[in-house]
Amino acid sequence: MAYANYAFEYQKQAVNTASPVGLIVMLYDGALRFMEAGKAAMKTGDLYNQNNNLQRAQKIVLHLMGTLDMEKGGIVSANLMTLYNYVLDQLVQANVNDQTEPIDRAMHTFSELRSGWSQLDQQGRRDQVELIAA
């Protein structure tokens, strides 16, 4: 099996064993990776990869927006929707105007959100370990 196949299998296993919150963290990681790649392509004038990567980041943001339960989530879901709309707008503006600053703002917002979700994921794992150990 080639290295790419091993990497794919590892990634597939990571997704299959992740907690729901862990999956959200993975989505944030992917979006941030695509934002960074889009920004790098923008700096080199590679319009194809700029557009491709920024659109991939936008698709992840749209997916996250689609997973929000506005009824059960209440104010938290409403606040997340507002932040996701902001990030989406920044990514579109960056791509249309070939400006890195909106990507930086989007990345900052997503990094902060990712940090919060990651803390929730770690807390959930600690709670699970405590339940098992008890």
Cα–Cα distance, 128 to 134 (Å, whole number): 10
- The reply to whether the predicted model has a pTM over 0.85 is no
Whole-number pLDDT of residue 96: 97
Whole-number pLDDT of residue 128: 47
Above 50 in pLDDT, residue 72?
yes
pLDDT in tens, 26-46: 999 999 999 999 999 999 999
Domain edges within the chain: 20-133
Region 5-20: mean pLDDT is 56
- The DSSP output letter for 88 is H
- At the top level of CATH, the class of 20-133 is mainly alpha
Cα–Cα distance, 64 to 45 (Å, whole number): 29
Cα–Cα distance, 91 to 89 (Å, whole number): 5
Above 70 in pLDDT, residue 105?
yes
Give CA separation, 51 vs 21, 26, 94, in Å: 29, 22, 10
